[in-house]
């Protein structure tokens, strides 16, 4: 516990040293869907693909639009962080999607090309992977025609726009720490993602969870740190105001409270809600001739 004293004004809080841990999870379900075969399922293909309308395959043919759907189980990730820091006593600081690209896929169903794609967190995660393959599609799982029933523009959230490299190898895509996405991770259930073309020339093909080499399957990498508690940057006292400034960590809510003195009842002055990016909280309070104690509290 530390105490800042400035005239008759105090700021109390506590601080924890930073400790960072990383956990990984692979999809338990994934599939690609394509506009040129709207009823076909490709759930157990060894690859997934994202393609725009202008991309072509190795024969120079256009195969239409491709989207990729992925669903990651987070039970073990949450259990790991809970064991490391205490139950829900941690904060997610970074999430990356790690994909192994095939720059020149041999199967002519897949398009090629470097371009942009967008990653979405999906509110719906009850779609079925299915058992179809590129050369033997089925109708027992998710297909292009199902997207209108899966997607929800009011609930789904963009996690950012990325660009593929167009060559063989692992690629690392940092995802936005959007509140809905982070809350879904922390709940320990399943997290669903959709990858869709953001530029017409993209033809991005990468290994799926069914790819034979387990070291080259997709990964969702989650980085977390201990409950950061309170880190005070500054407290400035002027003739008219007391100004408090502190870093605000994503997916934690900060509560600014005040009491007239030690042992008195605390009153809540302002709440800084969880946010998608780390930032700074600034709170200004009018000065008086009386004593005051300020403190910051955190809640998930």
Answer yes or no: is pLDDT of 277 > 50: yes
Answer yes or no: is pLDDT of 130 > 60: yes
Looking at the fold, whether 130 and 160 belong to one and the same domain comes out as yes
Query: Minimal CA–CA distance to 225: which of 245, 252, 246?
Result: 252
Looking at the fold, whether 170 and 271 belong to one and the same domain comes out as no
Looking at the fold, whether 6 and 29 belong to one and the same domain comes out as no
The number of distinct structural domains making up the chain is 2
Furthest-apart CA atoms within the chain: distance in Å: 80
> Rounded to two decimals, what is the model's pTM?
0.78
Looking at the fold, whether 12 and 25 belong to one and the same domain comes out as no
Domain extent, residue 40, equals: 20-226
Looking at the fold, whether 62 and 131 belong to one and the same domain comes out as yes
The two three-digit tokens of residue 209, written as one number: 């969870």
Looking at the fold, whether 39 and 162 belong to one and the same domain comes out as yes
Q: How confident is the model at residue 233 (pLDDT cuts 50, 70, 90)?
A: confident
> What mean pLDDT value characterizes the chain?
87
Under a CB-based contact definition with an 8 Å cutoff, are residues 190 and 182 in contact?
A: no
User: Beta 116-122 vs 157-163: how paired, if at all?
Assistant: antiparallel
Answer yes or no: is pLDDT of 13 > 80: no
Looking at the fold, whether 33 and 126 belong to one and the same domain comes out as yes
- DSSP type of residue 217: S
Domain end, chosen from 177, 198, 226, is at 226
At 259, which CATH number?
2.60.40
* Average pLDDT over every residue of 65-93: 94
- CA dist 110 and 102 (Å) reads 10
């Amino acid at each position: 516990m530390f105490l800042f004293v400035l005239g008759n004004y105090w700021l109390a809080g506590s601080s924890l040293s930073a400790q960072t841990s990383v956990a990984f999870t692979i999809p338990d379900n994934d599939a690609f869907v394509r506009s040129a075969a709207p009823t076909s399922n490709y759930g157990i293909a060894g690859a997934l693909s994202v393609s725009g309308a202008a991309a072509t395959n190795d024969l120079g043919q256009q195969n239409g639009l491709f989207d990729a759907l992925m669903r990651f189980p987070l039970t073990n990730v949450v259990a790991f962080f809970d064991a490391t820091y205490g139950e829900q006593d941690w904060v997610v600081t970074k999430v990356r999607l790690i994909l192994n690209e095939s720059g020149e896929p041999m199967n002519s169903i897949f398009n090629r090309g470097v371009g942009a794609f967008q990653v979405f967190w999906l509110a719906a995660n009850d779609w079925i992977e299915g058992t179809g393959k590129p050369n033997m599609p089925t109708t027992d799982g998710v297909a292009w025609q199902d997207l209108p029933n899966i997607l929800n523009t009011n609930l789904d959230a963009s996690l950012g726009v990325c660009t593929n490299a167009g060559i063989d190898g692992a690629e690392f895509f940092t995802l936005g720490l959007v509140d809905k996405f982070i809350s879904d991770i922390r709940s320990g259930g399943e997290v669903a993602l959709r990858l869709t073309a953001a530029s017409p020339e993209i033809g991005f093909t990468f290994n799926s969870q069914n790819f034979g080499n387990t070291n080259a399957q997709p990964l969702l990498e989650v980085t977390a740190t201990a409950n950061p508690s309170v880190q005070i940057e500054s407290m400035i006292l002027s003739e008219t105001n007391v100004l408090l400034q502190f870093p605000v960590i994503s997916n934690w809510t900060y509560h600014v409270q005040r009491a007239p003195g030690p042992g008195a009842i605390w009153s809540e002055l302002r709440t800084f809600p969880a946010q998608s990016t780390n930032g700074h909280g600034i709170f200004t309070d009018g000065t008086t001739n009386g004593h005051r104690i300020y403190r910051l509290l955190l809640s998930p």
